[in-house]
Amino acid sequence: MAWTVEFLLTAQRQMAKLDRPTQRRIIDYFRDRILAAENPRQFGKILTGDKGGLWRYRIGDYRAICKFEEERLVIVVLEVGHRREIYR
């Protein structure tokens, strides 16, 4: 059971706006921690409210909003951004 990560076009564009060290940190986080884990949910937190059912990963001051596609074993990254802006 190996999970994979996919970035939606929106998340890819948001990543492109970030500086290189921040991009590297986010990519390394998913590669080294999330994909290497038996259960990728152990590092995330489920969201409530208008983003209910989605998950967030905390990567320093940045957040990645994701959804899990169980049938394909894929973590889809919907949004990436600074914590002060991502939940708006």
CATH of the domain at 25: 3.30.2310.20
Pull the structure tokens for residue 6: 């996919």
Q: State the total domains in the chain.
A: 1
Other beta carbons less than 10 A from residue 72's beta carbon:
11
Residue 16 in any domain: the answer is yes
Domain with 23 in it = 4-82
Domain-located, residue 45: yes
Q: Does some domain include residue 57?
A: yes
Would you say residue 36 lies in a domain?
yes
**Is residue 87 one of the residues assigned to a domain?**
no
Residue 74 lies in a domain: yes
Write the pLDDT tens digit of every residue in 53-78.
999 999 999 999 999 999 999 999 99
Statement: residue 1 has pLDDT above 80: no
Question: In this structure, is residue 61 part of a structural domain?
Answer: yes
Q: Binning pLDDT at 50, 70 and 90, where does residue 24 land?
A: very high
Tell me if 88 is assigned to some domain.
no
Q: Which pLDDT belongs to residue 3? A: 92
Q: Determine contact, residues 7/15, Cβ cutoff 8 Å.
A: yes
Q: What is the pTM of this model?
A: 0.93
Instruction: Say if residues 44 and 37 touch (Cβ distance below 8 Å).
Output: no
